[in-house]
Structure 1
Amino acid sequence: MSVDNTLSSGSESTPTGGRAAPTPADVRRIAALPDPVTRNLQITQSYHELAVSMARLLPGGANWCAVATWASRQAGYSIRREDLRRALERLLRQSREAREATEALEAEGAIIREEPTESLAGAVSALHDALNPAAAFERTADAVARGNHKVFAEIGLEFARFLALFNDGPPHAGALEAFCNSLRPGDPPDGQRYVRDAFIHYLAALTERDDKARAELMLLANLEIGFHEQTRLQPEIREAMDAPIYEPGALRRRLMDELFPNPTSQWRLAAARLTGRADPLLAARDRLAKETQRLGRLAITDQLMTLELPGGRVLHLSDPLRAEVPAPLRALANPDLHALLAPLRDAPVADWSDLPSRMSYIAALFRAYHADAGLFGPPFTPAQTAALKAGQRPSDL
């Protein structure tokens, strides 16, 4: 496909500020940062700046970077593990099964240790401390951080390269052709056909004067990048969601170590096992371990299937979108857009690790929020942004 050399630089209006777009060198520098937390914060800010620069060039709707800003900000919560332990603690407190299993475990343990059972509060608290899944949440955070880095290092770089072509005004057709041809042929995860097609459609939208046709071209480009991105992310998303919260045998051993911490109590446990007196204890242990596994997976899934947008709006990705589709995108006419959307399922997302289900939601999200100017709002406060621009991690992040 060729590109047109009669390009307009678009409107001078911008959704926010006049900060320059990150350069390809900026993207490479940020992608090389070793600390995943600092890198994620810089990635999120860079996506925002790329989104605003794209909107100056191509106004009239959200581009892929505008949504990526908030997805990256949400990923930061998982990378920093801010909510995962609190979520598990809340779920454990609310779970009748966990509470009853914990109390039975401690009561049976006290009998075997030959200790009074009148007060269980301290022991129950100690057992909950033993359930802290730090290692499991570390695995989830690592998978999310690798995915965040993978997408930015590739797609963020291509947006920066694309925008750099317009630094001195509309580029000539040869430069645009060379950019598009530099993208690898073939389908993802290895090929970049979708990314190439996306930038060709962004270019077509630059010269399209019909509002509806331009909106459909922008949506098509956004979703083509989305297909590429989500295919590339599939291993990290599945790893983040499917990794067991604990290795079951290790969890059972931790619970026993908490209840029988010294040689005398361990000898009594061994004797109780031989006579069968420990059977109720072991049954309660297994119930608690199983329930904790379930709740831990629930905490991770809830974290990964939540997206907070500007203005305090929170989307739960297993629920249908409630936002109204803007008029230009209600009835779609673009045949390429129809073809891209045809294989997707029109149903709530039951499993975020399922690629077609995930893409169905993402397509609906880009369509419904196409005209939402709030997506171009800054992801951080002015003080936080100033710290990031100075190469520092804000103290409150």
Structure 2
Amino acid sequence: MNGHRRDNRWTQGYLHALGGQQREAALRQFLAPGAAPHGTGKPASPAASLLNVRGGTSGTPAVYQEPRPRPPPDTQAAADRVLEAGRRNNKKDDYDKRMEVFAQEMVEGDDEYKAELLDEVLKRDKNAFNSWLKADRLHNVTDEGRIKPTERNTVFQGMTAGIEGDHFNAEAIPVQFIHDSHDPALIASYIELQDTGERDGFERSLTAFAGVSDGRMYGFVTDPDNQSVIRDFTLAVQDHQDWYESQTLDRFQITTSLYGASVHEFEAPITFSEGQLRTMRMGFEHNNGLKTDGELLLAYPDRLERNEAVTQQYSQLSQNMGHLVGPDNANWATFAVWASDEIGRNLEGGLGIELGELGGGDPRYWLSVGNSKLISDIGPAFQHFNEVFADPANRTMSFDEFWSSFESEWGDRGISYLDGKQDRELDLRNAFKAYHEAMQLRQQEVDLASNGPGHEQDIEALADRRSELMLYANTLVGLQEQEIVQPEVEEGMQTLADLGPVNPKGAAAPWVDFHVPGDKPGSERRFDTDSDFPVSGDRVNLDGQFTTVGGETVELDEVLHDRLVSLRGDNKDPSDPDSAATDHWERYGDRMTYIYHLFAEYQRDDSLFTSPRVAFESRAKALNNDPELPPG
């Protein structure tokens, strides 16, 4: 008898889980062949007894009846129970008890019910978030075992459903509650509905994002469902860099009195823990292989550490490009390593920087802005080139196929030369077409060398042609990137913010220089941009032709000469190395002339491939502005 009852219970549970047609088929299968009808004295099978539970006559199986659906919970009654819970006369209400009942009531229905119950509670108790409905209290009653973690999570699920279903405005939930929830889904939904173009919306988004715990940060930034939210948010961080830094950088104020000077430190309003920063960095790098835009600002709040991250990324891009186009010619990313390192030197300070700050400017800020702006705009093209052609099977891919894949992968991310934006001359496309041809020439050299001796002249001719293509490509990238950062260069060399002249009478020229590794380990060379250009003895000269992405065949030396002439606006010949020195680094044409000759003279200097932190020691002293933590 007991076994029969157990069979019945099991069979009923199994059948209830099936759909209608499946359930009917299963019932017939469970009915034992030749089962005796009622009254024959033989025991019926469990399935037969189920068939006779409702309707029919003796021996005639009844049709299975669907269970009656459970009526939806009553949100009005549930809200009554929540708001009555913990009520005490003549003393403060028991808010923990109210939170306990609220979480338990939220479990009773689906997401729609949860959102409606929360909406009803908020309508009746407009002070809920200022009294009992706090994320910290919800976590505490969970930790004390008064509610289950699943019950706590239903509260966050209800808020997420309410936001996404427009049951109430996201701003009805205080951002501090969102932050303290540490719930990734709730935080993502909240950020998605903010207008991050506005300062208030961005502030709420940043505060909410800081609530993602270190244990969940990696999953949050790599979740495929969050990529649109993350992309828009990180671009907003870049756009609001000035305000972002005011919220995430510790501040120091010096006050003086009769008793001397004293320094007061003000902790940043929004901070990230060491664990959050480390997992954030891993997550951002996992997404694209490169940290760009606001990803850099979020993952590296400290300017010096951010600068070293940029420099290291350039170094990796440079090394990877060297494997494809040859390590005997520096690519643009190779030179970018030392330009970024130079920014790090200036972020540390120096006479030029201090004079600019005394004059009312903010050169360190503008250097930092330009530094992260360039890697974010130019870096992705190098990253995609390296990723695609790291696989030898892809090296037969045409340039047009490569560029199409790049646009597909990196479009809609604010990159200046994609999406129909800035790059009127198609400099980046032509640059990477030249890099693509250089890669193919490099492969031809390797193939000829593998055939044994006798091909030295052919290999040398291919190598010379490849050097020309590399110089052309490097210069085109330089033209694009220097145009991108022109506003930051001018701002950084302005004596009075928005008021004073930029580099008046070339006064800043003595402090604009460029350091690269020396010929010996630990040594360095300094190029003064206002002095005659040093001659290397291994200059790359342009003698060949190139077919542009538009199908036009151009002479390399002529096309670059004409571009530089159009930028300068004076009578100097930009092809002459003696015209490279300038007192006015803020002038785009003067700057590009110097950069072109730097590329031509030192492109084949293999010391440029030295690791930056091997050549020069680390300058980063803090992680998240806390000197107690090691740089990382």
- Place the TM-score, normalised by the shorter chain, in its bin: 0.5 to 0.7
Q: Could you tell me which residue of structure 2 aligns to residue 47 of structure 1? A: 314
Query: Once the two structures are superposed, what CA deviation does each residue of 1:340-380 show, in whole Å capped at 9, x if it has no partner?
Result: 22342342323111111111110000000011011111111
Q: Could you tell me which residue of structure 2 aligns to residue 30 of structure 1? A: 296
Partner residue of 1:81 out of 334, 346, 349: 349
Q: How far did residue 84 of structure 1 move?
A: 3.8
Q: Would you say the 8 A contact 1:195–1:224 is kept in 2?
A: yes
Distance 1:56 1:146, change over 3 A: same
Query: Once the two structures are superposed, what CA deviation does each residue of 1:306-332 show, in whole Å capped at 9, x if it has no partner?
Result: 0011121000011121123526x2353
Partner residue of 2:402 out of 137, 157, 176: 176
The total of aligned residue pairs comes to 282
Partner residue of 2:582 out of 343, 346, 349: 349
1:319 is paired with a residue whose SS is coil
Amino acid in the other structure paired with 1:332 = D
Amino acid in the other structure paired with 1:78 = N
Tell me if 1:316 matches 2:528: yes
Q: Would you say the 8 A contact 1:180–1:200 is kept in 2?
A: no
Q: Would you say the 8 A contact 1:47–1:66 is kept in 2?
A: yes
- For residues 177-192 of structure 1, the aligned pairs below 5 Å read 177-179=403-405, 184=417, 189=422
Q: Distance in 2 between matches of 1:224 and 1:58?
A: 16
Q: Would you say the 8 A contact 2:543–2:556 is kept in 1?
A: no
Q: Would you say the 8 A contact 2:582–2:591 is kept in 1?
A: yes
Q: Could you tell me which residue of structure 2 aligns to residue 18 of structure 1? A: none
Q: Would you say the 8 A contact 1:194–1:224 is kept in 2?
A: yes
**Greater length-normalized contact order (CA 8 Å, ≥ 6 residues apart):** 1
Partner residue of 1:243 out of 495, 515, 518: 495
Which sits farther off after the overlay, 365-374 or 208-217? 208-217
Distance 1:225 1:186, change over 3 A: farther
Tell me if 1:339 matches 2:559: yes
Q: Could you tell me which residue of structure 2 aligns to residue 94 of structure 1? A: none
Distance 1:386 1:320, change over 3 A: closer
Q: Would you say the 8 A contact 1:31–1:39 is kept in 2?
A: yes
- For residues 349-368 of structure 1, the aligned pairs below 5 Å read 349-368=582-601
Q: How far did residue 244 of structure 1 move?
A: 2.8
Q: Would you say the 8 A contact 1:58–1:206 is kept in 2?
A: yes
Distance 1:246 1:176, change over 3 A: closer
Distance 1:326 1:189, change over 3 A: same
Q: Distance in 2 between matches of 1:133 and 1:231?
A: 25
Q: Could you tell me which residue of structure 2 aligns to residue 145 of structure 1? A: 368
Amino acid in the other structure paired with 1:330 = N
Q: How far did residue 46 of structure 1 move?
A: 1.1
Amino acid in the other structure paired with 1:321 = F
Distance 1:330 1:173, change over 3 A: closer
Q: How far did residue 30 of structure 1 move?
A: 3.2
1:313 is paired with a residue whose SS is strand
1:332 is paired with a residue whose SS is coil
Distance 1:149 1:85, change over 3 A: closer
Q: Would you say the 8 A contact 1:317–1:349 is kept in 2?
A: yes
Q: Could you tell me which residue of structure 2 aligns to residue 269 of structure 1? A: none
Q: Would you say the 8 A contact 1:188–1:231 is kept in 2?
A: no
Query: Once the two structures are superposed, what CA deviation does each residue of 1:274-294 show, in whole Å capped at 9, x if it has no partner?
Result: xxxxxxxxxxxxxxxxxxx97
Q: Distance in 1 between matches of 2:347 and 2:368?
A: 6
Query: Once the two structures are superposed, what CA deviation does each residue of 1:235-278 show, in whole Å capped at 9, x if it has no partner?
Result: 11111112338989xxxxxxxxxxxxxxxxxxxxxxxxxxxxxx
Which sits farther off after the overlay, 318-327 or 203-212? 318-327
Query: Once the two structures are superposed, what CA deviation does each residue of 1:131-183 show, in whole Å capped at 9, x if it has no partner?
Result: x945835x111111111111011111221122111343342526514235557
Q: Distance in 1 between matches of 2:616 and 2:491?
A: 35
Amino acid in the other structure paired with 1:326 = D
- For residues 80-159 of structure 1, the aligned pairs below 5 Å read 80-84=348-352, 88=355, 133=357, 136=360, 139-159=362-382
Q: Would you say the 8 A contact 1:77–1:83 is kept in 2?
A: no
Q: Would you say the 8 A contact 2:513–2:526 is kept in 1?
A: yes
Q: Would you say the 8 A contact 1:351–1:357 is kept in 2?
A: yes
Tell me if 1:224 matches 2:476: yes
Q: How far did residue 216 of structure 1 move?
A: 0.5
Q: Distance in 1 between matches of 2:630 and 2:499?
A: 34
Q: Distance in 1 between matches of 2:304 and 2:619?
A: 17
Q: Would you say the 8 A contact 1:234–1:355 is kept in 2?
A: yes
Amino acid in the other structure paired with 1:333 = G
TM-score by length of 2: 0.40
Q: Distance in 1 between matches of 2:532 and 2:423?
A: 32
Distance 1:316 1:69, change over 3 A: same
Q: Distance in 1 between matches of 2:616 and 2:542?
A: 43
Partner residue of 2:510 out of 302, 307, 312: 302
Percent identity, aligned pairs only, is 24
Tell me if 1:165 matches 2:388: yes
Q: Distance in 2 between matches of 1:85 and 1:383?
A: 20
Q: How far did residue 396 of structure 1 move?
A: 9.6
Q: Give the number of the structure whose alpha-carbon radius of gyration is greater.
A: 2
Q: Distance in 2 between matches of 1:187 and 1:323?
A: 40
Q: Which runs of 5+ in 1 are unaligned?
A: 1-21, 89-131, 249-292
Q: Which runs of 5+ in 2 are unaligned?
A: 1-284, 412-416, 446-461, 519-523, 546-554, 565-573
2:527 is paired with a residue whose SS is strand
Partner residue of 1:380 out of 613, 619, 631: 613
Q: Would you say the 8 A contact 2:509–2:529 is kept in 1?
A: no
Amino acid in the other structure paired with 1:379 = P
Distance 1:180 1:221, change over 3 A: farther
Q: How far did residue 301 of structure 1 move?
A: 4.0
2:291 is paired with a residue whose SS is helix
2:526 is paired with a residue whose SS is strand
Q: Distance in 1 between matches of 2:615 and 2:377?
A: 28
1:178 is paired with a residue whose SS is helix
Q: Distance in 2 between matches of 1:386 and 1:140?
A: 18
Q: How far did residue 75 of structure 1 move?
A: 0.8
Amino acid in the other structure paired with 2:469 = L
Q: Would you say the 8 A contact 1:188–1:228 is kept in 2?
A: no
TM-score by length of 1: 0.61
1:242 is paired with a residue whose SS is coil
Q: Would you say the 8 A contact 2:517–2:615 is kept in 1?
A: no
